[in-house]
Structures are given as structure tokens and as C-alpha cells.
């Protein structure tokens, strides 16, 4: 693979930078009662980069109790939207003032390239600003047509205590797709970041305090899914779980949360397809496919891990994708020019390779890559840009979320076939279509079983535009007005007014 654009280590010494993280419970930083800690080893540099308190059920229970008390006290849930917005806007400013500090730790823990991590952290501030704008526009309904002596209103009230559980692939961004919206609604929260990327959540906790968020409104518990996430998904004082992660854990949470009938919002995995018609701008489409395949080291829920290309252009299009893939800069995440960094764990790197080998055993062929990538001076957690061709719909490479820099190529003859192939998985997160014919784009968009469809572009997102998954990619929506609405309970208030007496139910027989 020495014709690839590989960037070796830039000589960074991360061992000096070990981050120490504590829980944030009721406004105070705390270690675990047991004294237990866990460490994160940098995927790219192979050294310990953070050491954090490892939560148990005791810390999870304490955090939930703090969130419950804060919610019931009204210190946040009953103040005005204007006051809540003021705090959220301060958080946005503080995020921007701390971008570099947060970015560095995110790179070290996740293995993603520094330029992408910086974009993720600085871009997240916009979610806080947009959520602040929503905080002031909450309103329900009124009913003035029920008769002269009746009036009713439908109030929107914060749902209560929300457990927020996040994954490792976009730790700061995904938290910012949830927390500001929950806070804008007036909810109180308990947050658990992934055990692989705890630091940026802790740093955000510091900023929340600095911005003046009252104690107990946002609590953070560090540690593993079991026990911390389990307690957060089952505790009777939690009203809602907002989860982003794998479909496997999402299903588990849905099951255990049912015991107390708490609301569950799930953002899960994807096997997203881009469909390319012959009349598309093929250079643009190829670049977007390469971006969709390798962005965030291919570990992206919205990764376009499948393409479905018209047979007439398949050979030419794959050649363009392979040529562009060779120019993508793989290497040290600390290098500003790197575009693809390290895989999150050695076990996951091995899993990616297993998927690729299984695809080959099932009849797929390699047009590029197909094995681990050696980057001088860094860990063995890198994988080559990989393009699999001759993939058929029944193969794992067409069905499973591989979550690495691996593209599966399928072909089609007709729009019908393209729609069937795109919809032919259990997932339904996103899809894309490339054509200069808007009728084709619209027809595909209307028939794609996906929460988001991009036409002649890929992975553009805005706080205003809601996001979420169909089928086994999730339930509920995040960001935008629809995402904001998830954090409310609706209450009907029916009032008798005026002097007229209510018709009596008990009447005396005469
Ligand atoms: P994961 O499901 O393994 O873990 C996610 C979080 O759940 C972590 O914080 C983990 O500690 C916690 N967890 C694990 N077991 C738990 C349990 N029993 N109860 C409660 N919490 C538990 O996912 P991951 O590997 O961190 O992230 C990758 C996955 O996330 C991929 O499938 C990806 O597609 C998905 N994802 C989806 C979106 C989206 O918006 N749809 C965005 C990013 C990532």
C-alpha cells in the first residue's frame, strides 16, 4: 500500500497530557466512592491519555437523585425561557473559547484527525445557540370553541429527568445534539459518555458550571454501560432516555426502559447507500463517496458504506473512487493535514478485517486495500482504504455496519432496482442519490426508507434540520424543532369559567 498518501507520526508526546476526570454530581466534582478508575489508551499513540473515576450504581443513583431534586425544585424547569437561553448562549461562547483544549483531548481519546475534531467541537457551539433560540418559543394550544363556560389549553412542560448516553465516535458533537435541547426545554439531565471518550464531556461540565447552570441540573457519571448506563435506563426517577449508539444496545435499553414505561429516543447504526445515476456529475459524486466512506475513519453512523451504481458507469465510477481514495491522507491524527486517523480499538480493527475477509470468501473482490495499514511510529490500529466490488445484497458487506474505511459497491439497472437495493437492509438512517434529473432525485427521496436523504450532496447537516433513523436505525428525532419537541410532556388543562353553574351529575328524584 505504499502508493497511498500516508503521513507518519508528527512527534507528539501525549504521555505528558494524561487527563484526570471526575463525576459531576449535584454541582460538585467527585471521585467514585470505591476509588475505582479506568484508563483510556490513545488509539493512535498507544499510551494512556486519560484516567477517570469509574462510576458504579452508587454514583449513578446519586446523580439521578440530584437531577430529580433539581427538576422538582423548579430552579431550572420553572424559570423563563429567556433565563435558560442566557445560560445556553454563555455555554456556546465558552465552547468557542475552549475549542483547542477540548479538541486535543478528543483526538487523543478517539484517534480522529485533529482538523475534523476541531470542526466537531467548534461546530457544536451552534447547537447551543440554536437551542437557546428555541427555549423562548415554546408554546402549546388553546381551545376557545368548547362553549361559553369552557376554555382549555394544552401546555408543553419539560418531560423531567433525562438520561443521556453517548457513543465514542463523535463524543462532543452528539452530546451537543442532545443536552442543549433537553436543557432548553427545562429538563434536568444525567450524562454518561462512552468509557472510551470521557474527557470532552467532563470539560463541557466545567463550562456548564462557569456559565451558571444551577447545581444538579446537569450531572455527569463516568464509566461503563453496565452498571452506569443500565441504572440510567431503568431507574424509576428517570423520565426519558436519549441514547446514541449501536442498534444492539439501543434494543436492550428499549427493553429494560419498558419496565417503567419511560420515553426512549434512540439514534442507532446505519448501512447507508448512495445511488449514482449515469447523468450525475460523476466527479462530484466520487468525491462525496470518498468523503462518506473515510470521514471519521469510516466510524460514522452516516458513513456511506454502500454505493449502488448504474451498470453503464460502474467500472468508470469505481476507477474514480479508487483513484481519489489513494489521495486521501491517512496517518497521525495529530497532523493537521491528516484526513483519516486510527481505528478506535485493536479489537475493532480486527473486526473490520474479519468483515473484509468474509466478503471476499463470499465472492466480493478487492478494488483497493483490504488489510491493516502500517503507519511508521504509531500503533497498529490503522486500516487501509478499502473498496469491495461485486458485492451482492445477501452478503454481510451489504448488510452489516462494518464501521471502518470500507466501501461496498453494488450495481443496478433501473430506478426500481436501486430503490429495492437501497431499502434492502434492516437499517434506515440515511441515503443519497446523484442525478441531474430532479424527478429521479425526488422519486428516490420519497421512496427511500431513511430518516435523511441527501440529493447531489452528502452529510450536510444543520441544527435547524431534524435528524434520526427509520427502521432499526432508531426512534424519535434529534435536533431541529422535532428533536426539541421530544423533551416535552403535553398537559391538557380544561377550565370552567364564568358564573354559569356546572350541570349537576347527582339530581334528586321528585
Ligand atoms: P455502543 O452501543 O457500544 O455504546 C454507546 C453507549 O452506550 C456507551 O456510552 C456505552 O457505555 C453505553 N452502553 C453500553 N451498554 C449499555 C447498557 N447495557 N445500558 C446502557 N448503556 C450502555 O456504541 P458505540 O460503539 O459507542 O458507538 C458506535 C455505534 O453508535 C454505531 O453503531 C453507530 O452507528 C452508532 N451511532 C449512531 C448515531 C446516530 O445518530 N444514529 C451517531 C453516532 C453513532
Q: Looking at the predicted structure, is the pLDDT value of residue 1 above 60?
A: no
204-218 burial code (b ≥16 CB/10 A, e <16): bbebbeebebbbbbb
By most ligand atoms within 8 Å of CB, the mutation choice from 167, 253, 403, 428 for ligand 1 is 167
The model's pTM: 0.97
Alpha-carbon distance of 265 to 277, in angstroms, equals 35
Helix (H, G, I), strand (E, B) or coil at 50: strand
pLDDT higher than 90, residue 10:
no
- In sequence order, what are the residues at sequence separation of 6 or more whose Cβ sits closer than 8 angstroms to the Cβ of residue 452? 302, 429, 430, 431, 467
Q: What is the mean pLDDT of residues 4-12?
A: 77
In this structure, is the dihedral angle defined by the CA atoms of residues 30, 31, 34 and 37, taken in order, positive or negative?
positive
Q: Which pLDDT band holds residue 74 (cuts at 50, 70, 90)?
A: very high
pLDDT of residue 498: 87
Residue 141 burial (10 A CB sphere; 0-12, 13-18, 19+): exposed
Confidence at 2, pLDDT banded by 50, 70, 90: very low
% of the chain exceeding 90 in pLDDT: 95
Q: What is the mean pLDDT of the chain?
A: 96
With the most atoms of ligand 1 within 8 angstroms of its CB, the residue from 231, 246, 247, 254 to mutate is 246
The maximal CA–CA distance of the chain, rounded, in angstroms, is: 102
pLDDT at 204: 98
For residues 94 and 101, what is the distance between their CA atoms, to the nearest angstrom? 12
Nearest-angstrom CA–CA distance, 314 and 60: 52
Closest to 294 measured CA to CA, from 387, 198, 163, 177: 387
CA 249 / ligand 1 centre spacing (Å): 6
Nearest CA to ligand 1 atom 43: 301
DSSP letter string, 159-197: --EEEEE--SSSHHHHHHHHHHHHHHHT-EEEEE--TTS
16 versus 31: the higher-pLDDT residue is 31
Cα–Cα distance for residue pair 216/235, rounded to 1 Å: 17
Query: In this predicted structure, what is the pLDDT of residue 508?
Result: 87
pLDDT digit string (tens) for 424-473?
999 999 999 999 999 999 999 999 999 999 999 999 999 999 999 999 99
| Per-residue pLDDT at 22 | 98
Region 182-187: mean pLDDT is 98
Give the separation between CA 289 and CA 286, rounded to whole angstroms: 5
Which ligand 1 atom sits closest to the C-alpha of 250?
A: 2
Give the residue among 270, 212, 255 at the shortest CA–CA distance from 86.
212
What's the pLDDT score for residue 3?
64
- Give the residue-averaged pLDDT of 40-65: 97
Q: In what order do the strands lie in the sheet with 48-53?
A: 19-21, 48-53, 37-41
Tell me the pLDDT tens digit for each residue of 390-432.
999 999 999 999 999 999 999 999 999 999 999 999 999 999 9
User: Is 11's pLDDT higher than 80?
Assistant: no
**Do residues 163 and 40 lie in contact, with contact meaning Cβ atoms separated by under 8 Å?**
no
User: What is the pairing mode between strands 240-244 and 161-165?
Assistant: parallel
Amino acid at each position: 500500500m505504499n502508493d497511498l498518501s500516508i503521513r507518519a507520526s508528527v512527534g507528539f508526546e501525549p504521555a505528558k497530557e494524561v487527563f484526570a476526570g471526575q463525576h459531576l454530581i449535584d454541582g460538585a466534582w467527585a471521585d467514585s466512592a470505591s476509588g475505582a478508575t479506568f484508563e483510556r489508551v490513545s488509539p493512535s499513540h498507544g499510551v494512556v491519555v486519560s484516567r477517570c473515576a469509574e462510576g458504579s450504581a452508587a454514583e449513578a443513583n446519586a446523580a439521578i437523585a440530584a437531577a430529580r431534586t433539581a427538576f422538582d425544585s423548579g430552579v431550572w424547569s420553572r424559570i423563563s425561557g429567556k433565563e435558560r437561553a442566557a445560560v445556553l448562549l454563555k455555554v456556546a461562547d465558552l465552547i468557542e473559547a475552549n475549542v483547542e483544549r477540548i479538541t486535543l483531548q478528543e483526538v487523543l481519546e478517539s484517534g480522529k484527525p485533529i482538523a475534523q475534531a476541531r470542526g466537531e467541537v467548534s461546530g457544536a457551539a451552534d447547537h447551543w445557540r440554536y437551542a437557546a433560540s428555541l427555549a423562548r418559543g415554546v408554546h402549546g394550544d388553546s381551545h376557545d370553541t368548547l362553549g361559553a363556560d369552557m376554555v382549555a389549553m394544552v401546555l408543553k412542560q419539560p418531560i423531567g429527568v433525562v438520561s443521556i448516553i453517548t457513543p465514542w465516535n463523535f463524543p462532543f458533537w452528539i452530546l451537543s445534539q442532545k443536552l442543549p435541547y433537553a436543557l432548553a426545554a427545562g429538563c434536568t439531565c444525567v450524562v454518561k459518555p462512552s468509557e472510551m471518550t470521557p474527557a470532552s464531556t467532563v470539560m463541557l461540565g466545567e463550562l456548564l458550571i462557569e456559565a451558571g447552570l444551577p447545581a444538579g441540573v446537569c450531572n455527569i457519571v463516568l464509566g461503563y454501560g453496565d452498571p452506569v448506563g443500565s441504572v440510567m435506563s431503568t431507574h424509576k426517577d428517570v423520565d426519558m432516555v436519549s441514547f446514541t449508539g449501536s442498534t444492539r444496545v439501543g434494543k436492550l435499553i428499549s427493553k429494560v426502559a419498558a419496565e417503567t414505561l419511560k420515553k426512549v429516543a434512540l439514534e442507532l447504526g446505519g448501512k447507508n447507500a448512495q445511488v449514482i445515476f449515469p447523468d450525475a456529475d460523476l466527479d462530484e459524486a466520487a468525491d462525496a463517496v470518498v468523503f462518506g466512506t473515510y470521514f471519521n475513519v469510516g466510524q460514522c453512523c452516516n458513513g456511506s458504506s454502500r454505493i449502488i451504481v448504474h451498470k453503464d458507469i460502474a467500472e468508470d465510477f469505481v476507477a474514480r473512487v479508487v483513484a481519489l481514495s489513494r489521495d486521501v491522507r491517512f496517518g497521525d491524527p495529530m497532523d493537521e493535514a491528516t484526513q483519516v486517523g486510527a481505528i478506535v480499538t485493536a479489537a475493532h480493527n480486527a473486526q473490520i478485517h474479519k468483515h473484509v475477509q468474509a466478503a471476499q470468501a463470499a465472492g466480493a473482490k478487492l478494488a483497493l486495500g483490504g488489510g491493516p495499514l502500517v503507519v511508521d511510529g504509531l500503533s497498529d490500529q490503522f486500516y487501509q482504504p478499502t473498496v469491495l466490488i461485486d458485492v451482492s445484497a445477501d452478503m454481510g458487506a451489504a448488510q452489516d455496519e462494518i464501521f471502518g474505511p470500507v466501501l461496498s459497491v453494488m450495481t443496478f439497472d433501473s430506478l426500481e432496482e436501486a430503490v429495492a437495493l437501497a431499502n434492502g437492509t434492516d437499517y434506515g438512517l440515511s441515503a443519497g442519490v446523484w442525478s441531474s434529473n430532479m424527478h429521479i432525485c425526488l422519486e428516490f427521496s420519497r421512496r427511500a426508507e431513511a430518516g435523511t436523504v441527501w440529493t447531489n450532496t452528502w452529510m450536510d447537516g444543520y441544527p435547524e434540520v431534524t435528524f434520526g433513523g427509520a427502521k432499526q436505525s432508531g426512534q424519535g428525532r434529534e435536533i431541529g424543532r422535532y428533536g426539541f419537541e421530544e423533551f416535552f410532556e403535553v398537559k391538557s388543562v380544561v377550565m370552567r369559567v364564568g358564573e354559569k353553574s356546572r350541570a349537576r351529575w347527582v339530581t334528586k328524584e321528585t
